[in-house]
Each structure stands twice: as C-alpha cells, then as structure tokens.
Structure 1
Amino acid sequence: MTILLLLVIYLAFISLGLPDSLLGAAWPVIREDIGAPLEAAGYLFMIISAGTIISSLVSGKVIRRFGTAKVTFISVLLTAGALLGFYFSPSIFWLVICSIPLGLGAGAVDTALNNYVALHYKAHHMSWLHSFWGVGATFGPIIMAQFISGQQAWRSGYLTIATIQFALAAILLFSFPLWNMVAKNRSMTLAEETIEEETLEHDKHVKPLQIRGVKLALLSFLFYCGVEATVGLWGSSFLVNVKDLSAATAAQWVSFYWGGLTVGRFLTGFVTFKMSNRMLIRIGQITALVGAALLVLPFPHPISLVGFIMIGFGLAPIYPCMLHETPTRFGKTHSQTIMGYQMAVAYTGSTFLPPLLGWIASLSTIAIFPFFIVLYISVMLLSSEQLNKLLRKKVLVG
C-alpha cells in the first residue's frame, strides 16, 4: 500500500510540473491571438507566483485541518479548473483571473506533498519526487508544441493539460482510502521516537519562527531558488553577450544545465543510501560554487560548458535534501508549517532574485552574471553551515 501511495504522489508531482513551463512556451502565440503586450507574460508569472507564496504560507493550518489527501485533491482540482479557464479565456483580463487559482493550487500541492514525503519516506524518494517534477516540466512544452502550429491551437494545449489534471484529481479522490490505510500503518509508539525528536518536540506551543535556525533555513531556500532560476533565465544571455556564442549554442548549453539538474536528482536518490542529507547538501553547494567560479575565470569556452553542468549537478541534491531534513531539523510538530514557510520563501527567491540581476545588468553589463551566482551560492552555503552548527548544539528553541 505504501508503494502504491508513493506512485500516486509521484503522479501528482508530474502534474505539478506540467503547467509550470506552459506559459513561456505558448506566450508568443497567446499574445498574438488575444492582442496582449509582450510584458504581460511577466505580470501573469508574478500573479501565479504570488498565489503560490500565499498558499504556501497558510498551508500549515489548512493541511492540519483537512489533511494532506483532501488538500492535494482540492488543489489539483483548482489547478485543473484554472487551466481550463485559460482554454476559454477571451482576453488578458480572464488570463489574470485564472492565474490566481493556478498559483494557489500549485503552492498547496507542493507544500503538502513535500512535507508528507519528508515525514513518511526515505531521502531517496524525495530526490526522485523532484525528478518527476522535472519530467512534468519537460513534457509540458512538448505537449504544447504539438498544438501551437494551428490557429488558436494553444487553447488545445491548455485543454489537454487540464484534462490530465482532472484525471489526476479523480485518481486522488479514489485514493483517499489508501491514504487512510497508510496513515494507520505508520502509527508510531513512544519507544520508537528518538531522543533528538523528543528534544525538538518538548514545547509544542513554541511558534515555528521562534525555533532557532528556522530563519537560516529560510535564507538557504531563498538563495537556492534564486540561483536555480537566475542561471536558467540569464545563462544564455551571458553566453551570447560575454562569451560570444550563437543563440542556438547558448540555449543548448543552458539545456545541459537543466539536464544536469534533473539527472543529478535522479542519481542523488541512489547516493542517499550511502550519504546523509547534510553531507549531500554541503557537497552540492561546493560543487555548484566551483562551477560558478569556472564562469568567472577567463577560461576557454568549453570550460564554461563544464561550469554550467557542474552548477546543475551541484544544485541537484540541495533542494530535495533540505526539504527532507525539515522534520529532523525542527521536529514533526512544526514541520508542516515550516515547510510552508520554506516553500513560500523559495518561490520568493525564484520570483525576485532573477529580475534583480536583470535590473542591475541593464544598468551595467550582463558580465556580472557569474559574480552574482557566486554570491548567491556563497550566502546559501554560509547560512546552511551556520544552521548545521546550531543543530550540533541541539539547542534549537530560543
């Protein structure tokens, strides 16, 4: 039953990734069809991100009230309805309206399932879970590409993804008994609780943000997602304008970065059998930092490709391992709320740090790109190591 439920969760994460890359892939056709300005896509992205941040922040209370299964089902249903709304939208106004539930649904699914897997499954499942998100994010544009050659065919792409989401919502609905059975089988006795867990849970009335180390964890998530999104958004521009590569070659090199990230997460699932989350986080951060340094130094062009691949491989284990560490770091009582905070801050990083670099680059030069990547990774590494020091002291409340 546990494995069957895990398959349902994997499917849910594929569905979470499917809509994430749709807007960018379809926007050139959408804006022409509805007469929207080019920059409107940025506004839609911000609205979706805002909804995701809000739902992540409130997810702790909502999930405690209704449970992970019901929240996931309702959120996927909300996402499916929003995508169906995109299909019917006659103007940019209605796309704005539909972007609100799209963001709200995505944030709740992300937070609920990440915390559930962190509590009930081993670390390798968390890494593979995020690999399945990559599968969804990869196939979203592929599905859309099959439709955007005809007039208004982008709508058929959104309808197809919406249909997949409704089908998943039906699977989640019928899986409710499965969630209940697994929950009963996972009941724990006090004898199975570790001394560390008892220490973390000794005061259930402590507010999550009062737990020492939470703010450092949030800082790590902010800069992790800032790095991941910044490299993906501005990597090609750096290669074209600074390294003098063609746009096609630059795009291909950046695709190797995403490939390194996705493949790295799949491989991390196997490595977790031999190494701890903390060690993988540290190794990943150092690897990414070395890769960023290769972009700073005046090496030949092939070394830049190595740098992008190293950044991707380095970032691969960090996010899923940090998520999986949440109950261990801060206790199971507060893990759901803290997970919501972490997801909200992560989305904040991916929303605002890439535009920050773009704004500064517009006033200077895109050559600052690798220096910002080094800075972001360094802050993430320092905050993570400081958190590890606090954890070793085992005095987290204060």
Structure 2
Amino acid sequence: MAQQSEYDDPPPDVESSGTPEQSDSDEASPAVLASHDARDVYGKILSTNFGILCAGFNDSSLGVLIPYIQPWFHIGLLEVSYIYLVNFTGGFAASFANIHICSYLGTGGTLVFGSIVQCAGYVLMIWAPSYPAFILGFLFTGFGIALQDAQANSFTVTVRNSHRWLGVLHAIYGVGTILGPLVANTVASHTPRWQSYYLVTLAAGVVNIALVAWTFRHGLFKPNNASAKDTAGRELRETLTHPAIWFLTGFFFLYVGTEINLGAWLVQFLVEVRHGDPEKVGYVASMFWSGFTLGRIGLAEVTHRFGERRMVFVYIALALAFQLMFWLIPNIIANAVSVCLLGFFIGPFYPVGLYVLTSVMPPELHLGAIGFTASFGSIGNAAFPFLTGAIASRAGVGALHPIMISLLVGMTVFWALIPKQRRIQLT
C-alpha cells in the first residue's frame, strides 16, 4: 500500500472519466488531454511556458522603472499607483471573459488573442505621448496576460503529473521575473529613453504569438469541444457557486498581491528610506525574484511529499519572519538577503494552490475553476500595488511593510478555510 500526499494526482480513471464529445477541431478535449503523457504535448508545454515567461518579464519590471517614470512625467506616487488601478481593470474583465472567449476560440485561440492584446499595450507604452496614454497600455497588458495565465494553467493541469509541470510552469515565470528587473534597470540607466525597455517586451510578445499559433495550429480559433459555447455560462455559474472556489480565489488574490506588491515597491523603499542608489538597488529586485524562482524549483517535491496544506503554513510563518527582518533591519545588504529568502518561501504558493484546487473541486469544473482563479487572482498584482502607492503618497513608502504583513496573515486565513482533502490509499 502506497500513501499519497494530502493532495496527490487523482488516479487516471478519475482524470479521464467520461467520454468527451469530439469536435471538428483537432484540439483534444480537456479530458482527453488529461490522459496524455507530456511527451505528446511538448510543443504546447513549450509555448505556454514561454508565454508565462513573458508574463513574469512584464510583472517584475515596473517597480524598477518607477524612479524613472516619476521625473519623466512629473508625477507623484499616487499618480504612479494609477498604473496598477488600470491594470486591475484589465485583469478583472479577463477573469469573467476568459471562459466565454475560450468557448469560441479554444485554448490556442485564446492564448493567441491574449498575446496580441498584450502586444497592443506595449505599443502604447513605447509611443507614450502622455501619461494617460502610457497607463492605458496597462489596460491591454492586464487583460491579455490574465487570459494567457488562465489558459496556460488550465492546459498544464491536464498533463499527467500536473504538480510537477505546474512547478515548472511557475518556475519559468520566476525566470522571467528575474530577467525583467535586470533588463529594465540596464535599459533605463544606460539609454536616454526608459520606454525602450518595452521594445524588448514587444519583441518577446511577437515571438510568443508565433509560438502559440504554431504549437496550437490544429483547430486554432475553434472551441475545444462542440458544446463549449452552450455550456460556458452554466460552467461559470456552477464554478462560482462552489464554496471552495472563493477560498482559493481569495488565497490567490492575496498571494499574487503579495509577490507583485513587494516587487513593485521594493526598489522605491530602498531609494527613499534606505537612501540607496537607484542604479544599484534596482538589482535587489532580481534577488527577490531569484529567491522566488529557486523556491518554486527547490520546494516543489518537498511540499508534495510532506503535504501541501501543512507546508504552506510553515512557509507563511517563515515569510513573516523575513518580512519583519526586512522592515526592522536598516541595512541594504541585510534587506537584500531578507527579501531573497522571503521570495524563496512564498515562491511555491501559486502552483501548489492550483494543484490543491484539482483535489477539492469536482473534476468537471477543473478547467473553469482554474481559469477563473488564475485570472481573478492576477487582479491582486494590480490591486495591492495601487493601494500601497495610494497610501505611500501620504504616509511614505514605509507603509509597504504593514500591508505586506496583513497580506501574509490574510493568506493564512484563506488557506485554513480551504476544505481538507483526505489522503488517498493506493494499492
């Protein structure tokens, strides 16, 4: 008798239960994909991972650019925080539109559509004749990235050994978050126009479009199954009426807000409060994202072995300790080490949360639930940086720390409310 962890992969007969109706599209239905080995869908794994890499590249760079954006447009922190409010609007719209768009365009078509919308945002940012035009670009990137995030996660969870592939997917996101601040800081500090950074993201976005269009070319812009258009509304309603979805969504909302909030205001805190040089402390952001990425790689199997539910509580406690060290120790080197370790312990939360979702939600609602929580959770990457910026404009950027502690405590509450899955005995 072998014993699985609290939230282990369901048996194959559960994953592929039912006889899905095939459409004219060559795209397999989710239930069929769930029975495939990763070797059968390597191209799609590659393209979805690259799309998430681009998302990480995008999400981590803005915090480094804030010291350059302010003097360029002659604005304060409150006006900077409007960027996150606009980004929030895009992500919020995508969270409800995702399942309907996918019902018409299918997984590949929705990924292509999302990446095109994302690139449209970068065009606006590069052009940027005024600050309103610049922040309008974030409406498009917020919407496009949220769609891709939802679809990439929904696709990945259908591959066998999904807990490992989710770990890879979100580790790749972490690689993007490391590269983003490095490239953004280099471009902003060594070129006359910091907006040139968005030429890099636009080029990556064009490659993303090409990769997704090629790997999902069979049945591109066709629904995954014939009944998708008819069942999209019902599936969304059933998903939203399941109690567990709201606890999980709350956890994702606060978690994404935690990681992006720290990445967004970390450099500004080190400049204003610790009096660091923007060109030098800009690289501290990459230390945070490096720890974040290493956590997703190094803690994946440990978390799965000892139980996702238990280990997330342990990681949150450690994250709180390092957040307090960052706040209370007035030394830039100590702060860099603290945020690196904080990132390490919160890194696994997103893939772990998605994996747990597949254990507490009915199988027929998995894809809709993952799409909703992934896209709605991405709203947190705009809501809390906006809140922090609005408060910092009056109270100073030191307000980052009590907000971070509140987010970590809130995550603990939501995680405790998620229904506990019994261990499964396998013969």
Aligned-residue offset at 1:123: 1.0
User: Displacement of 1:103 after TM fit?
Assistant: 1.9
Q: Offset at 1:384?
A: 1.0
Q: Distance in 1 between matches of 2:185 and 2:243?
A: 48
C-alpha spacing 1:13/1:133, structure 2 compared with 1 (3 Å)? same
- Matched with 1:197 is none
Aligned residues: 369
CA distance in 2, matches of 1:327, 1:173: 28
Pairs within 5 Å for 1:117-132:
117-121=156-160, 122-132=162-172
Secondary structure class of the residue paired with 1:17: helix
Q: For 2:71 and 2:333, locate their aligned partners in 1 and report how far apart those are by CA, in whole Å.
A: 38
Give the gaps of 5 or more residues in structure 1: 185-202
1:70 aligns with 2:99: no
- Larger RCO, structure (CA 8 Å, separation 6 or more): 2
2:33 is aligned to: none
2:262 matched residue in structure 1? 231
Paired residue for 1:82?
121
2:43 alignment partner in structure 1: 4
* Partner secondary structure for residue 419 of structure 2: helix
Could you tell me how far 1:315 is from its partner in structure 2? Answer: 0.6
In the alignment, the residues of structure 1 paired with residue 57 and residue 284 of structure 2 have an alpha-carbon distance, to the nearest angstrom, of 23
**Distance change >3 Å, CA 354–CA 44, structure 1 → 2:** closer
Q: Which residue of 99, 112, 135 maps to 1:60?
A: 99
- Residue 322 of structure 1 deviates from its aligned partner by 0.4
> Match of 2:17?
none
Superposition deviation, residue 321 in structure 1: 0.8
Within 1, Cα distance between the matches of 2:285 and 2:69?
25
Distance in 2, Cα, partners of 1:237 & 1:84: 26
String of CA shifts for 1:231-274, please: whole Å, max 9, x gaps.
33455677788xx8552597666654332212111213443563
Residue aligning to 2:317: 286
Q: CA 1:96/1:210 → structure 2, altered by over 3 Å: closer, same or farther?
A: same
Over residues 109-168 of structure 1, what are the superposed CA-to-partner deviations in whole Å (9 max), with x where a residue is unaligned? 01111121123242122122122122223333444455554444x454323331221122
Q: What corresponds to 1:247 in structure 2?
A: 276
Shift of 1:369: 5.3
* Alpha-carbon shift at residue 69 of structure 1 (Å): 0.9
Q: Is the 8 A contact 2:108 2:217 kept in 1?
A: no
Hey, what does 1:377 align to over in structure 2? 408
Instruction: Map 1:347-366; keep pairs closer than 5 Å.
Output: 347-357=378-388
Residue 158 of structure 1 corresponds to 198
1:199-278 equivalent positions in 2, closer than 5 A: 207-235=238-266, 245-247=274-276, 255-271=286-302, 274-278=305-309
Q: Against the structure 1 CA distance between its residues 258 and 29, is the aligned structure 2 distance closer, same or farther, given a 3 Å change threshold?
A: closer
| Aligned match of 2:178 | 138
Structure 1 residues 58 and 296: alpha-carbon distance in aligned structure 2, compared to 1, 3 A threshold: same
Gapped regions of structure 2 (runs ≥ 5): 1-39, 225-233
Distance 1:43 1:75 in 2: 22
Aligned residue identity for 1:378: V
Letter matched to residue 93 of structure 2? I
Q: Aligned residue for 1:198?
A: none
The separation in 1 between residues aligned to 2:324 and 2:69, in whole angstroms, is: 39
CA distance in 2, matches of 1:98, 1:293: 35
Judge conservation of contact 1:119–1:327 (CA < 8 Å) in 2.
no
CA gap of 1:359–1:106, structure 2 versus 1, over 3 A, is: closer
Quick one: distance in 2 between partners of 1:167 and 1:350?
Answer: 24
Aligned to 1:195: none
CA contact (8 A) 2:253 2:379 kept: yes
Which residue, out of 41, 51, 54, partners 1:15?
Answer: 54
Match in the other structure for 1:190: none
* Counterpart Cα distance in 1 of 2:65 and 2:236: 48
1:335/1:361 CA distance change after superposition, 3 Å: same
CA contact (8 A) 2:153 2:371 kept: no
Partner of 2:8: none
Structure 1 pair 97/281, CA: closer, same or farther in 2 (3 Å)? Answer: same
Say which is worse superposed, 100-109 or 342-351, in terms of deviation: 342-351
Q: CA deviation at 1:13?
A: 1.2
State how far apart, in whole Å, the 2-side matches of 1:97 and 1:371 are.
30
Following TM superposition, by how much is the alpha carbon of 1:25 offset from its aligned partner in structure 2, in angstroms?
Answer: 4.5
Give the TM-score normalised by structure 2.
0.71
Q: 1:268 to 1:90 in 2, by over 3 A?
A: same
Per residue, is there more helix in 1 or in 2?
Answer: 1
Name 1:308's counterpart in structure 2. 339
SS of 1:90's equivalent in the other structure is: coil
Moved more, 93-102 or 112-121: 93-102
Asked if structure 1 preserves the Cα contact closer than 8 Å seen for 2:274 and 2:331, the reply is no
Identity of aligned residues (%): 20
Looking at structure 2, the residues matched to 103 and 365 of structure 1 have their Cα atoms a distance apart, in angstroms, of: 27
User: Measured at CA, do residues 85 and 377 of structure 1 come closer, stay the same or move farther in structure 2, by a change above 3 Å?
Assistant: closer
Q: Give the TM-score normalised by the residue count of structure 1.
A: 0.76
